[in-house]
Amino acid sequence: MKAIVYDRPGSFALTTVDDPEIRDDEVLLRVLVAGVCGTDLHLHDGEFGPTYPLTPGHEIVGEVRRLGNAVVGLEPGDRVVLDNTAACGHCVECRRGRPAFCRRLLAQGVNAPGGFAELVVASADRCFLVNDLEPDTAVFAEPTACVVHGLDVLRPAAGVDVLVFGAGPTGLLLTQLLVATTGGRVTVAAPSAHKLELAAALGARHVVPIDRAAPADAAVALRALTEDGFDVVVDATGAVPVLEQAIPLTRTGGTVFVYGMTPESARWPVPAYEVFRRELTIKGSFAQQFSFDRALAALRLGTVRTDGLITHRFDLEHYGDALAAVAGSACVKAVIDLR
């Protein structure tokens, strides 16, 4: 089969490798669509704990090709999405109900073979049937599961006034679920007019353009929307200059939610006295835990809408172009399409 294989940071090739073998509790999937996200950019640079040789790709929709002898509940031809992580269940983090921090975590697309390949092997118990969802919708299952977990961490109150920085896939998914779960006002700030139009169509009450090079310039327009600041300010960009605007825009007693993934070397200068004096809360969210089924429910019910979010499609031969698209401002969501 063909697969993207990295041998070190920044160095990948489209390579022919042996078709994978399956164990009794596993299935062999033919990859239909695999989403490309910002995490893949970090992995390209050697961040986020990659293990080499590495085939990335963790947002996977596949068709069951072959079943292990012990697999029940799936049939050849079924369409599934894959929870790409498997925790040991026994380490200290697993015993505390935090499987994403498992000391022996297997993460396909990070430290185990992922979905930027023609075939991928998965444990049957991590496959979710999506015969009723189109692949272009189902490919959002993993990022939506991450957002669902994020809201589990954030626990926003009903009616809160929320500012979301960023209108990429994550920002747009967050916007929809924040509107649905809080019933409050959601404002989205981002540099792309096209993405802001999508945010407005998906439920944002206000959209505010910001200059990527000078995000502080948007502060006046944002402050004009709220007398005392926002109850919750969400960063879905991973850009430190944007994060620096979060605390001044948060009301006393409010929460700054760090959702976007910064480079590992990035440092955010937090005004500690402000956190102390105004009783601010800073929270972060990592990956997804116990949330795949709820993400699929949101997609099935239309609580999360995905029409128009996929703007760029590539085959494996043009994987490098997919990374470049994700790094640019015009792309909302890029996928590797193998259908």
pLDDT for the residue numbered 168 = 97
3-state DSSP assignment of residue 117: strand
Q: Do residues 191 and 210 lie in contact, with contact meaning Cβ atoms separated by under 8 Å?
A: yes
pLDDT for the residue numbered 214 = 86
pLDDT digits (tens, 9 = 90+) for 13-72: 999 999 999 999 999 999 999 999 999 999 999 999 999 999 999 999 999 999 999 999
Determine which of 50-59, 133-142, 176-185, 217-226 has the lowest per-residue pLDDT on average.
217-226
At the topology level of CATH, where does 2-140+306-337 sit? Answer: Quinone Oxidoreductase; Chain A, domain 1 (3.90.180)
Q: Indicate the pairing of strand 119-123 with strand 26-36.
A: antiparallel
235, β-bridge pairs: 165, 258
pLDDT digits (tens, 9 = 90+) for 284-339: 999 999 999 999 999 999 999 999 999 999 999 999 999 999 999 999 999 999 99
How is the chain split into domains, by residue range?
2-140+306-337, 145-284
Whether the bond between 156 and the residue before it is cis, its omega within 30 degrees of 0, is no
Query: What's the CATH number for 145-284?
Result: 3.40.50.720
Closest by CA position to 35, among listed 178, 129, 130, 138: 138
Q: Indicate the pairing of strand 206-209 with strand 281-284.
A: unpaired
Kindly indicate the confidence band of residue 105, based on its pLDDT and cuts at 50, 70 and 90. very high
Q: Residue 307, Cα to own-chain centre: how many angstroms?
A: 17
| Average pLDDT of the residues in 82-109 | 96
